[in-house]
Amino acid sequence: MPETVENRWIWPFELLERIGQGGMGEVWKARFVKNDRIVAVKLLPSDVTDETVLARFEREVGLLRDMRHPHIVHTFGGMTDGDKGPGKSPNRRFYAMEYLTGGTLQDLLERDGRLGPETVVQYAKQICAALAFAHDRGVIHRDLKPGNFLLAEDGTLKLADFGLAAVREGNKLTAEGRTMGTFRYMAPEQIRGRPPACPQTDLYALGVVLFELLTGVPPFAGETPAETLQMHLKRPAPRVISREPHCPPGLDALVADLMEKRIEDRPATATAVGERLNALDERVALRQRTPTMTMDVPSLRDRERQISDDDLTIPPPPRRVAAPTPWVKWTAAGALALCGLLLPAAARWQTDSAALDRAEARWIERLESGDPLQRVDAAATLGQLGEDGSANYDALLEALESDDLTVRAAAAQALVAFPSQRGELDSILNRVQKEDLEERVRQAAQSTRRTLQQEPEPVGGRGSTLWAWAASLGLLLAAGFVAFKT
């Protein structure tokens, strides 16, 4: 290992500090001497002579050099260093890649314990984009785990470490029948060594990763590696919702599908998983349920008027007023108690509504000024907010005029979530269907029109919900007042 100053040169890089170490070598923060750019350098120890390990490392360099994607770590290239540079370092293999400062998902887990569903969904979308890109090129990663997902300073997630990747066309470095990977995240077929690794092998590991991000613990964790592997092979995967009750049902079901034992029972592609993530309703994550509250209402008892023996004066007969019957008093107590329960819930609703507005504003900003992929994602998310949004409808209408055809198509699809506007939308989408130059946009408009014509109109959104809260509280307060007055 390059521990001395003289040995901290892998020309043309100066090694500054070691930031990671694993079975396939070590990673150093380094300076590119030609322009002082800070990069990360992954290198094999100089004493590695195993031809299979060397060939696998070189193949990783070749794979990463050709994997140009926003959610895959960018690699600049690699070489074999000999007697060059100030330190005349020994001959060793290495490659340079972009230096990311945000840590890893493993670091987030160790710091926060677990992540919120909305955060996990956003990370999962980025993971699926990277996997879809790799799988389309015949590359199976085979070692997905939180530590292999790096975070850029802006929060972008990037997949790293293709050292165990298998190329589906076949190669001798990952021969069938060999068990390779990190045991806590390995699919059953990866453990058995048959059938060969496939895209669903990575999707199983993705399910395990998402389970751990949502709950803070992996789904299977035996006392020994062998016990953990047996769990992956034979024990049904636990549900996220059994550990984290507030997990959205759709996300819980998706993670369960990803961790199915049989390959054919899992989603077919990373793209399909990404589409399911886009369809998840983010309102479940933004709106936390109001905790159940209990209140003991003491019973109301009639008190007898006691007249002492010393009271000899007989008063005139009082005006008779009918005493409240028990059911009236119970009604009044129940109405007031229910008001006490609903008032905190109404306050919580207002808080959650404000959070929803802030999230909506961020997505609208992304729809208006993000890159094309971000704008398409923003259109889909604003559509998921549907009638509960306050400004998303107008933003999607404006997106129909975008210069990017994918944004226009996404906006047309997202407008299906606004059946209360079906009259106006029918006219607008009819114009798009007739005038837009792109077939994809015309088809999206036609599909949305057809769906809106078939869907029943919902009963209001957030505005009607607010009036419902106000009406309910008013009626209950009035009932309590009248009952006690009576």
The pLDDT of residue 341: 63
Q: Which of 410, 375, 115, 136 is nearest to 270 (CA)?
A: 136
Average pLDDT, the chain: 75
Q: What is the mean pLDDT of residues 9-23?
A: 78
pLDDT of 142 higher than 70: yes
How far apart are the C-alpha atoms of 235 and 337, rounded to whole Å?
47
How far apart are the C-alpha atoms of 345 and 189, rounded to whole Å?
49
The pLDDT of residue 478: 62
Q: What is the pLDDT of residues 371-417, one digit of tens each?
A: 777 788 788 778 877 787 788 899 999 999 998 888 898 899 889 88
Q: Which residues contact 109 (CB under 8 A, 6 or more apart)?
A: 115, 146, 212, 213, 216
Binding site for ATP, by residue number, is: 42
Least confident of 32-46, 87-101, 461-475: 461-475
Q: What is the mean pLDDT of residues 280-298?
A: 41
How far apart are the C-alpha atoms of 210 and 152, rounded to whole Å?
19
- Partner residues linked to 13 by β-bridges: 10, 32
Residue 6 sits at φ, ψ, to 5 deg, of -60, -30
Binding site, by residue number, is: 42
Of 132 and 360, the one with more pLDDT: 132
Position 47 confidence tier, pLDDT thresholds 50, 70, 90: low
Assigned token pair, 131: 């996997």
426 counts as catalytic? no
Q: What is the mean pLDDT of residues 97-105?
A: 88
How far apart are the C-alpha atoms of 135 and 156, rounded to whole Å?
20
Assigned token pair, 79: 């070489």
- Ranges 65-79, 303-317, 318-332, most confident: 65-79
Residue 236, class by beta-carbon neighbours within 10 Å (0-12 exposed, 13-18 middle, 19+ buried)?
Answer: exposed
Position 457 confidence tier, pLDDT thresholds 50, 70, 90: low
Q: What is the pLDDT of residues 414-450, one digit of tens each?
A: 898 888 888 899 999 999 999 998 888 998 899 899 8
Q: What is the pLDDT of residues 153-187, one digit of tens each?
A: 888 999 987 765 554 444 434 444 444 457 899 99
pTM of the model: 0.54
270-279 vs 199-215: helix axis angle to the nearest 10? 40
The pLDDT of residue 201: 95
Least confident of 75-79, 120-124, 154-158, 161-165: 161-165
Q: Which residues contact 92 (CB under 8 A, 6 or more apart)?
A: 10, 43, 44, 45, 46, 80, 81
CA 252, distance to chain mean position in Å, is: 11
Of 281 and 223, the one with more pLDDT: 223
pLDDT of 290 higher than 60: no
The pLDDT of residue 193: 84
Q: What is the mean pLDDT of residues 49-77?
A: 75
- Ranges 91-100, 319-328, 437-446, most confident: 437-446
Q: What is the mean pLDDT of residues 222-251?
A: 91
Instruction: Give the number of other Cβ atoms within 10 Å of residue 464's Cβ.
Output: 13
Of 467 and 406, the one with more pLDDT: 406
pLDDT of 464 higher than 80: no
pLDDT of 86 higher than 50: no
Assigned token pair, 241: 């919702």
Q: How far is CA 167 from each of CA 13, 139, 188, 191, 296, rounded to the nearest angstrom?
A: 30, 5, 19, 18, 66
CB contact at 8 A, 367 and 338: no
The pLDDT of residue 288: 40
pLDDT of 240 higher than 50: yes
Q: Which domains does the chain have, with CATH numbers?
A: 9-98 (3.30.200.20), 105-280 (1.10.510.10), 332-454 (1.25.10.10)
Residue 28 sits at φ, ψ, to 5 deg, of -125, 145
Q: What is the mean pLDDT of residues 307-328?
A: 46
The pLDDT of residue 286: 46
Residue 486, class by beta-carbon neighbours within 10 Å (0-12 exposed, 13-18 middle, 19+ buried)?
Answer: middle
Position 482 confidence tier, pLDDT thresholds 50, 70, 90: low
Q: Of these residues, 47, 66, 143, 404, which one is catalytic? A: 143
